[in-house]
Chains A and B, each alone.
Chain A
Amino acid sequence: MIKFIFKGLIRDKSRSLLPILVIMIGVFLTVGMTGYIRGFIEDFVDQNARLQTGHVNVVTKAWAENESMMPLDLALLGVDTLLTELQTDFPGYRWSPRIRFGGMLDVPDENGESKKQGPVMGMAVDLLSGNTDEIDRLNLKTALASGHIPREPDEVMIGEELAKKLELKPGDKVTFIGSTMDGSLTFQNLVVSGTIRYGVRQMDNVVMLLDLRQARSILDMEDGATEILGYSKQGVYSDEEAGKVRDAFNAKWSGSEDDFVPVMRRLRDEPTLGYYFTYINSFSGMMIFILILIMSIVLWNAGLLGGLRRYNEFGIRLAMGEEKGHVYKMLLYEALFTGIIGSVVGTAFGVAFTLFLQYKGIDISGMIQGGTMIMPNVIRAKFSPDLLSIGFIPGVIAMLIGNMLSGIAIFKRETAKLIKELEI
């Protein structure tokens, strides 16, 4: 009997091909979009971690409370000791002290008179110690728009938009004006060695990148840093693992009432990022739900139409003595079969699309013009094994639901009525 049903299914294209196509497209969209969103999150997280937050970061409690003001006077001191401690306690992580600070850049003309001025955000990282991993971490070689990466202590790189605004090019001299850790005014002559471009306003428009040791001397904060960023040696951010590290570290310091006690935070604790995380996760969940809903409705209607066309067949089978329940069961088998085929093909296409994005990527740098978040330039997707089921199961379920609904509409009617309608 099942063979008989499948013969009909295969011969009647409107019964097989159409639903398979609908399921295929739905499943493809679900899988492809999910892969894409996952990849997007991962890239987004990765780039934020590299440029700004680390997988985890250590700051003083007081700094954490006033972070938006970048208060240098609340920075960490005794960084070397803290670093050694971190390295022993958490060998799975690499630790990088950085300083973020505000100030002004002054561009002098030939006579030494001030020609242009603009605010900058200083970002001091280890560039010159000889065994630094920050150059790779910040993708400086890729981000380099002109000139070269600093080789001397007084060389700095600035964001490309900032360079344009101040009409600077590699080799130009500038003066940094700011305040030291204890609040006195400080001036420092520097040379622009190159410009960088990340495609992110937050970096390109304001940043001045310089060596950590140089910054410490300008800002008069020997052995200080505003933050120490931690990066998992596995390279990938994991909420759970970062949370464990954070809790272990904070537990150790929990006794202290001092405002300058170090506290650790993980990437997700950053409010905007945390929000994005939740938002994107619920967004993808909702999208899958909506797709299932749409697929079910389309299939329900396709099923209803198909059912109407097959009234005749159902009526005859009933007259021949097939039980209603059996006819219904066979209808669901058909649905299962077409649902599985559509889902398999849709999943295959979705995974192929995801893998394509994962390995090739699509450059969208032209499309994002300076958002405030740090967004990746190249759209990449991320394959993970659950993509195999994320569209497949909903696809099959949608097909079953669609057919169940249309089937019920038919089989709620009395056999006699079905036969009567058949007779006309």
Chain B
Amino acid sequence: MNKKIIEIEDLVKRYPMGEAEFTALKRINLTFEKGEFAGFVGPSGSGKTTILNIIGSLDTPTEGRVSVEGEDVSHLSEKASARLRKEHIGFIFQSFNLLPVYTVFENVELSLLLLKQSAAARKKAVTQALEWVGLQDMARKKPPQLSGGESQRVAIARAIVKRPNIVLADEPTANLDAENAHIIMRTMQRLNEELKTTFIFATHDEKVMQYLKRKIHLLDGYVDKDEILESNTVES
């Protein structure tokens, strides 16, 4: 458990703001090892989403070096960053973001289609992913027929179906009630343990924080505190 999967060196992110610039991330230095269950926590506007998006190569650093799976994401072409996301990174969003015209099965299947897997392989993987999140009976439903908790579980299945090394989850519980938030977190915790998938969260939800094994406190774009909480295992 000591292979470095993400290395962040002197990361600075500035956004242009009219004439001036706004610095959202100020010299961040961090590393993540494979299999971590970590999260960025901190008040609104502290830079959680920004750093998550840079790790996920949806956004680029202004300065510094960020390498994911050994690839320097600061200099990736659009094609290469798409490939990195396609092969290694799963995303879970706050608002589920399932595609309403497709069935649960098809929503989960999409990332495998992008990987050009065969129909048989896709069927097997999707069925298994839906079993992991306990939704094997809902494969033929469409998202509008699902509850919030179920929707987010589909989103988790969609993120992990391709067995990515890293799952990035931005406020995954923000739209869920407490009970569903716990179900979601326990599901991800189990996947982290069984599949050794690295999970990185961005959250200010206490319910999420209870599960984290590492809490990185961001404050105004700085790392305020980097807590390792190996003991933080929640009753499952």
Whether the pair B85, A321 counts as a contact (CB closer than 8 A) is yes
Chain A residues with CB under 8 Å of B170's CB are 423
- Smallest beta-carbon distance A9→chain B, Å: 9
Given contacts A319-B58, A319-B91, A323-B79, contact A8 B86 (CB under 8 A): no
- Of A77-85, A142-150, A282-290, A309-317, the one with at least 4 CB within 8 A of chain B: A309-317
- Of B27-35, B108-116, B145-153, B188-196, the one with at least 4 CB within 8 A of chain A: B108-116
- Smallest beta-carbon distance A420→chain B, Å: 8
B89 at the binding interface (Cβ < 8 Å): yes
- Of B37-45, B96-104, B221-229, the one with at least 4 CB within 8 A of chain A: B96-104
Interface 1/0 per residue, B45-59 and A, CB below 8 Å = 000010001001011
Residue ID in chain A nearest B115 by CB atoms: A321
- Smallest beta-carbon distance B97→chain A, Å: 5
Chain A residues with CB under 8 Å of B138's CB are none
Given contacts A12-B101, A323-B78, contact A419 B58 (CB under 8 A): yes
A415 at the binding interface (Cβ < 8 Å): yes
Whether the pair B53, A416 counts as a contact (CB closer than 8 A) is yes
- Smallest beta-carbon distance B94→chain A, Å: 6
Chain A residues with CB under 8 Å of B110's CB are 4, 317, 320
A7 at the binding interface (Cβ < 8 Å): yes
Interface 1/0 per residue, A284-326 and B, CB below 8 Å = 0000000000000000000000000000110111111111110
Chain A residues with CB under 8 Å of B93's CB are 319, 422-423
Whether the pair A4, B111 counts as a contact (CB closer than 8 A) is no
- Give the docked Cα–Cα distance between A316 and B102 (Å): 13
Chain B residues with CB under 8 Å of A414's CB are 59
Give the total of A residues in contact with B, Cβ under 8 Å: 26
A11 at the binding interface (Cβ < 8 Å): yes
A1 at the binding interface (Cβ < 8 Å): yes
- Give the docked Cα–Cα distance between A1 and B116 (Å): 8
Residue ID in chain B nearest A3 by CB atoms: B113
Whether the pair A320, B86 counts as a contact (CB closer than 8 A) is yes
Whether the pair A323, B99 counts as a contact (CB closer than 8 A) is no
A-B contact count (CB 8 A): 75
Chain B residues with CB under 8 Å of A423's CB are 49, 93-95, 170
Chain B residues with CB under 8 Å of A416's CB are 53, 58-60
Chain A residues with CB under 8 Å of B53's CB are 416, 419-420
> Given B60, B97, B101, which contacts A315 in the complex, CB threshold below 8 Å?
B97
Chain A residues with CB under 8 Å of B139's CB are none
- Smallest beta-carbon distance B24→chain A, Å: 12
Whether the pair B113, A1 counts as a contact (CB closer than 8 A) is yes
- Give the docked Cα–Cα distance between A414 and B57 (Å): 12
Whether the pair B106, A320 counts as a contact (CB closer than 8 A) is no
- Smallest beta-carbon distance B6→chain A, Å: 17
B141 at the binding interface (Cβ < 8 Å): no
Whether the pair B99, A321 counts as a contact (CB closer than 8 A) is no
- Give the docked Cα–Cα distance between A321 and B161 (Å): 14
Residue ID in chain B nearest A1 by CB atoms: B113
B83 at the binding interface (Cβ < 8 Å): yes
- Give the docked Cα–Cα distance between A312 and B100 (Å): 10
Chain A residues with CB under 8 Å of B101's CB are 7-8, 11-12
Residue ID in chain B nearest A2 by CB atoms: B113
B82 at the binding interface (Cβ < 8 Å): yes
B7 at the binding interface (Cβ < 8 Å): no
- Smallest beta-carbon distance A329→chain B, Å: 13
- Give the docked Cα–Cα distance between A12 and B109 (Å): 19
Beyond known contacts A7-B101, A323-B79: 19 more, CB 8 A cutoff: A1-B113, A4-B109, A7-B102, A11-B101, A319-B85, A319-B93, A320-B114, A321-B89, A321-B111, A322-B86, A322-B114, A323-B78, A324-B78, A414-B59, A416-B58, A416-B59, A420-B53, A423-B49, A423-B95
Of the A-B pairs whose beta carbons lie under 8 Å apart in the complex, a sample of 14, sorted by A's number, is A1-B114, A7-B102, A12-B101, A312-B97, A312-B99, A317-B114, A320-B111, A321-B82, A321-B84, A321-B87, A322-B86, A324-B78, A416-B53, A416-B60
